[in-house]
Amino acid sequence: MDLLESSKLVDDNLHYLAEIRNFTRGKRSVIVIGCVDYDRENPPMLFNSAVVIKDGEIIFRQNKTLLPGYDVFDEYRYFSPAKESAVFELNGVKAGITICEDIWAALGNDNSRFMDQRRYHSEPVKQLADKGAELIINISASPYVKGKRQVRMGMLSALAKKNGVSVVYVNQAGANDSLIFDGNSFCINKGGEIYSHAKGFDEDLLIADTEDVNSIDISVDDIDDIRKALVLGIKDYMHKSGFKKAVLGLSGGIDSALTAALACQAIGGENVTGITMPSMYSSSGSVDDSYELAKNLGLRIETIAIKNLFEQFKTDLDVMFYGMIEDVTEENIQARIRGVLLMSVSNKYNALLLTTGNKSECATGYCTMYGDMCGGLAVISDVPKTIVYEISERINSDAGKEIIPRAIIEKAPSAELRPGQKDQDSLPPYDILDGIIELYVEQRMSANEIVSRGYDRDTVDHVLKLINMNEYKRFQAAPGLKVTSKAFGIGRRIPLVKRYVP
């Protein structure tokens, strides 16, 4: 991002590149490493580069050719494209280097949500193969997106087979802000078969023989991948921002239960505190379920009732609200009282406050600014409600016992801000809602296109209206962890004030 506009960052990165060069002197290892360098012919632009280091010297350099400018990517803002792709010799093998997006040009339009075919008028891998390359090395910082792993492996397999080259694909592992990099590096032989595969969502050291012809089967479990991605996202966000403890509100609902379970997997239950904050509208089961969840997870739990605080707020507002009936205003007061309490605990204990809203709620504005939206990290804000249930069920099945109590999974979702309230009083059933959100937000379909998929016209119009009128809420939300092809974050840029509805 704009750290790249700092010459100190560029100079520091070149300084440490020189240290790595010195480290390799007298050693047999050859290192391929990414760096940033100046485009001295076109300042202040930079090059996104990969260099090959052997015995203390840079023996080859390849700048990135294809610069993505879609979703979370802004590479045209900072980088100049490579003028050419070249081949070099590595221990008697003719090799070429590509950087991340350079391998995606061969994908075509079938999976456009993972790339931007419109910008690409060249195929670096084909150019390298035409120049005699036998081995393609790709270094990537490719963010995790549900479904992308399958596409990535299939595309690289077809690419290797088509061009008669073996491929070494090396992907970053770790998380930065909202982006999660899933690792899952692998090697493919010239027949398009994967013969070696590194860990997912973790750092790994993998030693592979590029002459290997023995293929292995790699299965992808999207639900488990999302769980691992979210755990890694929490862990790295907290570590890199200096937090060792987390706090969250436990409502007795599925969203806060899942968020708590993920937080405990990331940093351990002993570092997580859950706060129940019952009002006169809270069911006794909600508090009991939260305590059972806390026991299962091994986290600290405390209760702070808000009934008296809420009554005091209403008393103090009596004069201004005289003669007016209670409505969503009073519901939001409860949410905001809870937000203040949670932020107070966060401040006092230096614990990161995790918000618990899911993508379905964030999309439709079914959340309260300065209330349940308070927090430093929105863990499941890119996870649709239907997938919240799937991950929760998986956590229980993997453990072989109830981690998330069955009562939480089976109860009808409710904010419990008024008597008998249920989510479906205000929203369509979640399987319908999530389908519409995916088609509109992720696949960018219009209302007519969504209706043509079999959805009711009035329901579609209502959901799209909710999505568009609540952009201002999402603009002020805590950063979330991206796991779908279009999250409500830096990759989605919609005006807050508009009349046009696409």
* Domain limits, CATH 3.60.110.10, in the chain: 2-220
Closest Cα to residue 385, out of 409, 352, 402? 409
Structure tokens at 96: 């070429």
Report the pLDDT averaged over residues 20-24: 94
pLDDT computed for residue 105 by the predictor: 80
- Condensed to tens digits (0 to 9), the pLDDT of residues 199-210 reads 999 999 999 988
pLDDT computed for residue 415 by the predictor: 65
* Three-state secondary structure readout of 334-394: HHHHHHHHHHHHHHHHCCEEEECCCHHHHHHCCCCCCCCCCCCEECCCCCCHHHHHHHHHH
493 SS3 class: coil
- b/e per residue 457-475 (b: at least 16 CB within 10 A): eebbebbbebbbebbebbe
- Condensed to tens digits (0 to 9), the pLDDT of residues 368-418 reads 999 999 999 999 999 999 999 999 999 999 999 999 999 999 987 776 677
pLDDT computed for residue 114 by the predictor: 64
CATH assignment of 226-423+470-475, among 3.40.50.300, 2.60.40.420, 3.40.50.620, 3.60.40.10: 3.40.50.620
pLDDT computed for residue 106 by the predictor: 66
Closest Cα to residue 478, out of 263, 261, 237, 282? 237
* Domain limits, CATH 3.40.50.620, in the chain: 226-423+470-475
pLDDT computed for residue 477 by the predictor: 97
Region label for 444, one of left (φ > 0), alpha (ψ between -120 and 50) or beta (otherwise): left
Q: How far apart are CA 32 and CA 51, in angstroms?
A: 6
Q: What Rg value do the Cα atoms of the chain yield, rounded?
A: 25
pLDDT computed for residue 413 by the predictor: 78
Q: How far apart are CA 276 and CA 428, in angstroms?
A: 28
- Are β-strands 377-378 and 57-63 bridged in parallel, bridged antiparallel, or unpaired? unpaired
Model confidence at 283, in pLDDT bands (50, 70, 90)?
Answer: confident
- Condensed to tens digits (0 to 9), the pLDDT of residues 407-446 reads 999 987 776 677 777 777 778 999 999 999 999 999 999 9
Q: How far apart are CA 143 and CA 484, in angstroms?
A: 10
CATH assignment of 2-220, among 3.40.50.150, 3.40.640.10, 3.60.110.10, 3.30.70.1560: 3.60.110.10
How many Cβ atoms are within 10 Å of 395's Cβ, its own excluded? 20
Place of tokens 């209330």: 371
